[in-house]
């Protein structure tokens, strides 16, 4: 295999999605520990309070005690190069969270065994499903009493509409939790106080019983046997194609806090999760092993370093090899650009990149040149990976500069931040007032903070009662026909008409009244 293909195929680039408190930070930390990327437990947690707080932009995170921005962590394990893209797990997450999912090849979904599928998991899951991203499920906190495994499968299948195939299966739960049985490797992994990994081969149900007699009570073994039989007979058989297409999720059980089940999960995951795949572009299919370097920007982060007010654009490499100092062309402008100071990110540091391969994420210094969704290629004959989808905002506010004197700065700031993808902006029809649309409330705070810090503009933000935006596809409809007391017609940054509604009820009522009108939840 050629070096480029070999390097690409050992990349695993994924995001961990979960509802807050399901254990994302804990699992991430255990994975980093396994990869030797951090030395002690607690390092990842401290990110929330200490290290990143060195930047004043991150000061906001500290105040709120949450992670506003997603970051990237790279480490090596078993000859695989792993890129974990962190997604903010807070309810107030942003479009960044969604867009991060565009840059991964698979997703790990963590579910709290006691809580099952929760609201935020569902939102993020839907984006994955729509994009056909393979999803691996880690059911966490088995050391506590939770829902029955079969009930959890049913919930995953019903609520998320995805087939489940458990790779391992819990032996007891809570007080009686004794470990898991690996259905693929046919071995028992014992959960004990010593926290050492104990693997016992057991290739038949009889052997499973024999091996467990010493450690588990009869009822636990009976239940395990019965449910393993049931899975054999009525469960979904492993289907690699369905996993790759995001139609079947492989399910793992464990207890992240004690790292139980984490090493085996990682091993299976690395084997079964896909590496970087080919992608469609404006000029045909591009394969990771294609020699021409290409990638796209999925995120721009401002002020990561307080010493110089820099912006970093995160580039996902899709094909070819990145080499230091190489010249690339920006498809949107057709102009050549040198990728300045590219960096890669580790658990607690960033380092200059010498070379990088498909699947890797590099951060490049952005002098205000890039936009979200931009494609860079190492050829004059550029192509692009298409625009990243716009996700429907759920909160809207009217904004203006507190003092009219600052109007010029205000417009510059609002337009730049919208271009960067930090918020969506709309304008009202008659008075051209600015309306901000965001996915998570916190984005308003971040926006206000950045407008003050970067553009020296004090903002007045007035929340509105709208929660849904729909793009109007048939523009010939007269405006008068659209207006009502419960909606508002505005224009997006590309001057496309958008109708804002207060709630689903208002939207449905509008649709019933105007059956000929075509509305879209998002546009490209
Ligand atoms: P996040 O919000 O998804 O990042 O969740 P955290 O990793 O911060 O975990 C939330 C809480 O659950 C913390 O108090 C963890 O110590 C706890 N936790 C994480 N994993 C486990 C587990 O396997 N068992 C138990 N009992 N608690 C856990």
18 Cβ inside 6 Å of ligand 1: yes
Domains 279-377 and 395-520 share a fold: no
24 Cβ inside 6 Å of ligand 1: yes
CA of 489 to the centre of ligand 1 (A): 44
Q: What angle do CA 99, 101, 103 make, to 5 degrees?
A: 85
The reported pTM is 0.86
Q: Round the average pLDDT of the chain to a whole number and report it.
A: 86
- Per-residue pLDDT averaged across 82-95, rounded? 72
Name the nearest CA neighbour of 109 among 232, 245, 265.
265
Q: Annotated binding residue at 149?
A: no
141 Cβ inside 6 Å of ligand 1: yes
Extents of the domains making up the chain? 3-174+236-272, 279-377, 395-520
**SS3 letters across 11-71:** EEEEEEEECCCCCHHHHHHHHHHHCCCCCCCCHHHHHHHCHHHHCHHHHHHHHHCCCCCCC
What's the pLDDT band for 236 if we cut at 50, 70, 90?
Answer: very high
Read off the pLDDT of residues 307-343 as tens digits, 9 standing for 90 and up: 455 677 889 999 999 988 889 999 999 999 988 667 6
Instruction: Please tell me the predicted confidence (pLDDT) of residue 483.
Output: 78
Q: Annotated binding residue at 179?
A: no
CA separation for the pair 69, 85 (Å, rounded): 11
Task: Report the CATH fold assignment for 3-174+236-272.
Answer: Rossmann fold (3.40.50)
Residue 2, SS3 per DSSP:
coil
DSSP per residue, 266-324: HHHHHHHS-----EEETTEEE-TT-SS-EEEEEEEEE-SSTTTT-EEEEEEEEES-EET
Q: What is the position in ligand 1's atom list of the atom closest to the CA of 26?
A: 7
Domain 395-520 sits in CATH at: 3.30.70.3280
Name, in order, each residue with C-beta under 8 angstroms of 59's C-beta and a sequence gap of 6 or more: 53
Q: Annotated binding residue at 164?
A: no
Q: What is the CA radius of gyration of the chain?
A: 25
- Per-residue pLDDT averaged across 476-485, rounded? 76
Residue pair 254/261 in contact (Cβ under 8 Å)? The answer is yes
Torsion of CA 161, 165, 171, 173, to 10 degrees: -20
Handedness of CA 74, 76, 79, 85 (dihedral sign): negative
Read off the pLDDT of residues 274-301 as tens digits, 9 standing for 90 and up: 999 999 999 999 999 999 999 999 988 7
- Per-residue pLDDT averaged across 31-52, rounded? 59
Name the nearest CA neighbour of 458 among 467, 447, 468.
447
450 Cβ inside 6 Å of ligand 1: no
CA separation for the pair 223, 218 (Å, rounded): 9
Q: Which two tokens stand for residue 28?
A: 């991430």
Domain 279-377 sits in CATH at: 3.40.50.300
Residue 360, SS3 per DSSP:
coil
281 Cβ inside 6 Å of ligand 1: no
Q: What is the residue with the minimal CA distance to atom 24 of ligand 1?
A: 141
454 Cβ inside 6 Å of ligand 1: no
Q: What is the residue with the minimal CA distance to atom 6 of ligand 1?
A: 23
Instruction: Please tell me the predicted confidence (pLDDT) of residue 126.
Output: 85
Residue 94, SS3 per DSSP:
coil
Q: Which of 15, 20, 21 to mutate to test the pocket of ligand 1 (most atoms within 8 A of CB)?
A: 21
CA separation for the pair 53, 55 (Å, rounded): 5
- Per-residue pLDDT averaged across 93-100, rounded? 78
């Amino acid at each position: 295999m050629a070096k480029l293909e070999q390097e690409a195929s050992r990349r695993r680039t994924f995001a961990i999605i979960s509802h807050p408190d399901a254990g994302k930070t804990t699992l991430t930390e255990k994975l980093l520990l396994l990869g030797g990327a951090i030395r002690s437990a607690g390092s990842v947690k401290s990110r929330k309070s200490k290290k990143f707080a060195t930047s004043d932009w991150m000061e906001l995170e500290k105040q709120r005690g949450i992670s506003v921005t997603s970051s990237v962590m790279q480490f090596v394990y078993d000859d695989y190069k792993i890129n974990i893209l962190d997604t903010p797990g807070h309810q107030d997450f942003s479009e960044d969270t969604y867009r991060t999912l565009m840059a991964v090849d698979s997703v790990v979904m963590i579910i709290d065994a006691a809580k099952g599928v929760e609201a935020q998991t569902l939102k993020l899951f839907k984006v994955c499903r729509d994009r056909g991203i393979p999803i691996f499920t880690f059911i966490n906190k088995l050391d506590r009493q939770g829902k029955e495994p079969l009930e959890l499968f049913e919930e995953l299948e019903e609520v998320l509409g995805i087939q489940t195939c458990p790779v391992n299966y819990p032996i007891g739960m809570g007080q009686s939790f004794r470990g898991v049985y690996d259905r693929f490797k046919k071995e028992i992994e014992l959960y004990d106080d010593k926290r050492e990994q104990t693997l016992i081969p057991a290739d038949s149900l009889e052997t499973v019983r024999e091996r467990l007699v010493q450690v588990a009570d009869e009822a636990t073994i009976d239940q395990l046997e019965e449910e393993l039989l049931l899975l054999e007979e009525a469960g979904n058989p492993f289907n690699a194609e369905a996993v790759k297409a995001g139609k079947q999720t492989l399910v793992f059980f464990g207890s992240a806090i004690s790292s139980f089940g984490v090493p085996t999960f990682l091993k299976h995951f690395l084997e079964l999760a896909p590496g970087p795949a080919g992608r469609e572009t404006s000029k045909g299919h591009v394969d990771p092993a294609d020699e021409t370097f290409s990638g796209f920007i999925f995120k721009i982060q401002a002020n990561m370093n307080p010493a110089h007010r820099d912006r970093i654009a995160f580039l996902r490499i899709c094909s070819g090899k990145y080499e230091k100092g190489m010249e690339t062309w920006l498809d949107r402008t057709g102009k050549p650009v040198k990728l300045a100071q590219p960096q890669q990110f580790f658990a607690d540091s960033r380092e200059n990149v010498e070379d990088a391969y498909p699947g890797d994420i590099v951060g490049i210094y952005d002098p205000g040149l890039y936009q979200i969704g931009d494609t860079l290629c190492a050829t004059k004959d550029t192509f692009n990976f298409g625009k990243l989808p716009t996700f429907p905002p759920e909160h809207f506010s009217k904004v203006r500069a507190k003092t009219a004197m600052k109007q010029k700065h205000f417009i510059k700031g609002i337009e730049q931040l919208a271009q960067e993808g930090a918020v969506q902006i709309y304008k009202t029809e008659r008075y051209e007032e600015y309306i901000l649309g965001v996915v998570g409330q916190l984005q308003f705070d971040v926006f206000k903070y950045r407008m003050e810090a970067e553009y020296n503009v004090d903002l007045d933000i007035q929340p509105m009662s709208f929660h849904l935006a729909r793009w109007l596809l048939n523009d010939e409809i007269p405006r008068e026909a659209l207006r009502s007391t419960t909606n508002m017609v505005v224009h997006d940054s590309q001057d496309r008409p958008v109708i804002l509604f207060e709630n689903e009820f208002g939207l449905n009522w509008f649709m019933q009244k105007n059956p000929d009108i075509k509305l879209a939840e998002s546009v490209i």
